[in-house]
Amino acid sequence: MDKKTQENIIKYGIGAGLAYFLIARPILMKFGILKSDKQISIQNETLKINSPWNPNYWKQYTGPKIITDAALSDIIYNIQDSFGVLADNYDVILAQFKKLSYKTQVSYLADKWQQQKGTDFLSFLGNGGGFLPWDGLSNDHLAALISYVNNLN
């Protein structure tokens, strides 16, 4: 093999690798064909019956602590408004969660979110409702929210 052929193989190999990791892989992950660690942990957390992220969690209690519809509407609006095209405002999102004192309130929020938006609440936080690879909260921010909520009463 001559030197020119070797250089072409290297160039095309690097180009194919970059195209996969920068374009194809994020698209495949966004459409659920490939699952990232973040998507798998979101799915696992939501499916747990004893998870406050599960929309049905609050229903297992008699007289659960929930929030008013007015407060709920405000929180939903602020969370959805915190996701932008280029950046997300994690501080505003965290502030909304700090308004909640009980896991049942988070579950009630997840339930109402799913009824109003037709999407899973925790998944929305992970992908920001967008399709671009950088949409949604970072793994660290999402893990911090999950930890915060799991430590509520």
90 and 122 belong to one structural domain: yes
The answer, yes or no, to whether residue 90 has pLDDT greater than 70, is yes
Domain that holds residue 29: 1-34
Least confident piece of the model among 20-29, 89-98, 117-126: 20-29
pTM (global) more than 0.75: no
Q: What DSSP string describes the chain?
A: --HHHHHHHHHHHHHHHHHIIIIIHHHHHHTTSS--HHHHHHHHHHH-TT-TTSTTGGGGSSS-----HHHHHHHHHHHHHTB-SS-B-HHHHHHHHTT--SHHHHHHHHHHHHHHHSS-HHHHHHHTT--STT-S--HHHHHHHHHHHHT--
As a whole number, mean pLDDT of residues 28-45 equals 60
72 and 120 belong to one structural domain: yes
85 and 128 belong to one structural domain: yes
Share of the chain above pLDDT 90, in %: 27
